[in-house]
Structure 1
Amino acid sequence: MNILVLKMGGSILAKLPTSFYQTIVALKQQKICEPIIVHGGGPEINETLKELHVESKFVDGLRVTTNEVLDVAEMVMSGSINKKIVANIQKQGGTAIGMSGVDGKTLQAIPIDNASTLGYVGQVKKVNVSWIEQIMEHGAIPVISPIGIDGSGERLNINGDMAAAAVAKALKAKLALISDIPGVMENVSGKEFVHEQLTKEEIEEKIASGVIYGGMIPKVRSALNGLSGGIKESVILNGLAPEDIKDYIQGKQAGTKVVMKKEEKQHV
């Protein structure tokens, strides 16, 4: 089965055009691939926490998740955002089933190492793929929010990129990080171009030299996190030009592939 896990962060969701959802539905209906969406929701969670006067702080870029913060994160991601994505897919003639990692124990999690500091934050120990596969087999697109559950029934907030990587690994799928730019770009002699492929080593060098900067740093770090999650390849694709997604899944050049090591060119 040709499966593509699409990770959509909260900041890109508001920008995605109708054509993005049309493309996802077409991929499914034309049997080009089986799309699965894993989404985040950071900006909307921040906004809701502020409205509800719930204090929230970050340590090393990760949200400290108290029980109160977890309730809000679950409400926003598994409720509001998840159902908006499901509705957008169905407006374009597709069928989608929204779920969180809690449903059917789909994302079985354990607390992360520094849980004493970060609170109810987890990492995926196992993905129960049977529910995801059943949704796909019944003609629907799974839409998953990254709230997991541990062995005692405790909910845990999971980083969206790591949740997407875990799902991709469990299903032997490709992982696409949906962005609002064509890929990792570099300016050489006044001309901008998109890197077709970057290794972990090249990315670290380009961050150190300032070629990769600002908002692109978390994107490439997310792609690398996917690789450390055990998948062979991540790709950064432009959700605002959804034909790139179709091109990528059909083997054409699109976006920036992120790999651990350079692929050897195969001569056919």
Structure 2
Amino acid sequence: MKYLVMKCGGSVLENLPRSFYEDIVKIHEFGEWIPVIVHGGGPLITSLLKSFNVETTFVGGLRVTNEQVLDVVEMVLSGSVNKEVVRNIIETGGKAFGISGIDGGLLQAEPTEDAKTLGFVGKVVSVNNKIIEGIVDQGFIPVISPVGIDAYGQRYNINGDVAASAIAKSLGANLCFISDIPGIMVEKDGIKQKLDIVSKSVIEEMIANQTIYGGMIPKVKAAIDGLLSHIPEVGIINGIEKNSLLDYVSGKKIGTKIVLEEEIFYG
């Protein structure tokens, strides 16, 4: 059996069809793959912060996080969003167990190098695999909210893509980013086209020329970081598209595959 870590962003979670959760349950029942879900919740966090009249800003696709923002982040991610995902899986006949990265020290974190700018935004330094394995051994699909903790009890807001990559690295798992777009898109002759496969060097060029920007930056950086740490495969697929997840685990050509090779030829 192989682990498949799926990262579902907050924006796509709002639009995922029931069939997506049905496919997760099918994958779990087939037994070839062990699904692990890491989720975001950005739009709901932003909405709630706005209702509280708390200013929120982003730097390089990451939310600047003080203690007040952190309270809302944890409430949304580890509370309402986490339990919504668990509930959706249960409603489609599956078994899911929701957990925060804080619980059991699942995601041990420390501040990023840009802590002076970003505040309590963390990076994962270790993952307690025994917790994930214990949940899996009980027959549940782990559903993880990306809030981490350090040895002193300080919480950290961890970008969901970064958390998913760290978990995939720790488990030796494939990593799949679930999006609401077909993959990484480029414009050619005035028409947007999906890249079937894209390399590290091309991604770096696309970040430099701002073809890739905003929230996609931490996603592709997390993908490359995972590949450099020997994650077998990283893909971006459209979770709204029917059967996309089943097609992915079946090895069909779908979404964008991210690789390390320096030169890729697109056919």
TM-score scaled by structure 1?
Answer: 0.89
Partner of 2:225: 228
Moved more, 59-68 or 183-192: 183-192
- Answer yes or no: is the 8 Å Cα contact 1:224–1:258 preserved in 2: no
- Answer yes or no: is the 8 Å Cα contact 1:5–1:37 preserved in 2: yes
- Answer yes or no: is the 8 Å Cα contact 1:182–1:194 preserved in 2: yes
Pair 1:43 & 2:40 matched: no
Q: Residue 137 and residue 251 in structure 1: after superposition, are their counterparts in 2 closer, same or farther (change >3 A)?
A: same
Residue 219 of structure 1 aligns with an amino acid whose one-letter code is M
5+ residue gaps, structure 1, are none
Alpha-carbon distance in 1 for matches of 2:103, 2:7: 19
Q: Aligned to 1:15, what secondary structure does the other structure show?
A: coil
Give deviations 1:88-124, integer Å, cap 9, x for gaps.
0000000100011001110011111222332211110
Partner of 1:33: 33
Alpha-carbon distance in 2 for matches of 1:117, 1:182: 33
Percent identity between the two aligned chains:
49
Moved more, 21-30 or 177-186: 177-186
1:201 CA displacement? 1.5
Q: Residue 168 and residue 110 in structure 1: after superposition, are their counterparts in 2 closer, same or farther (change >3 A)?
A: same
1:63 CA displacement? 1.9
- Answer yes or no: is the 8 Å Cα contact 1:74–1:147 preserved in 2: yes
Alpha-carbon distance in 2 for matches of 1:189, 1:46: 36
Alpha-carbon distance in 2 for matches of 1:188, 1:54: 41
Partner of 2:97: 97
1:250 CA displacement? 2.1
Q: Residue 126 and residue 213 in structure 1: after superposition, are their counterparts in 2 closer, same or farther (change >3 A)?
A: closer
Alpha-carbon distance in 1 for matches of 2:77, 2:125: 21
Give deviations 1:64-103, integer Å, cap 9, x for gaps.
2111111110000100000000000000000100011001
Alpha-carbon distance in 2 for matches of 1:52, 1:206: 36
Q: Aligned to 1:181, what secondary structure does the other structure show?
A: coil
Partner of 2:246: 246
Alpha-carbon distance in 1 for matches of 2:233, 2:221: 9
1:206 CA displacement? 4.6
Q: Residue 17 and residue 113 in structure 1: after superposition, are their counterparts in 2 closer, same or farther (change >3 A)?
A: same
Question: Number of aligned pairs?
Answer: 261
CA RMSD of aligned residues (A): 2.2
Pair 1:56 & 2:61 matched: no
Q: Aligned to 2:142, what secondary structure does the other structure show?
A: strand
Alpha-carbon distance in 2 for matches of 1:69, 1:123: 17
Partner of 1:169: 169
1:226 CA displacement? 2.2
TM-score scaled by structure 2?
Answer: 0.89
5+ residue gaps, structure 2, are none
Q: Residue 232 and residue 29 in structure 1: after superposition, are their counterparts in 2 closer, same or farther (change >3 A)?
A: closer
Alpha-carbon distance in 1 for matches of 2:177, 2:112: 23
Q: Residue 191 and residue 36 in structure 1: after superposition, are their counterparts in 2 closer, same or farther (change >3 A)?
A: same
1:179 CA displacement? 1.0
Give deviations 1:1-51, integer Å, cap 9, x for gaps.
311111111111111000000000110012131111101111100111111
Aligned pairs for 1:118-133 (under 5 A) are 118-133=118-133
Alpha-carbon distance in 1 for matches of 2:117, 2:192: 42
Partner of 2:110: 110
Alpha-carbon distance in 2 for matches of 1:221, 1:112: 13
- Answer yes or no: is the 8 Å Cα contact 2:61–2:216 preserved in 1: no
Q: Residue 193 and residue 61 in structure 1: after superposition, are their counterparts in 2 closer, same or farther (change >3 A)?
A: closer
Alpha-carbon distance in 1 for matches of 2:134, 2:8: 22
Alpha-carbon distance in 2 for matches of 1:28, 1:224: 28
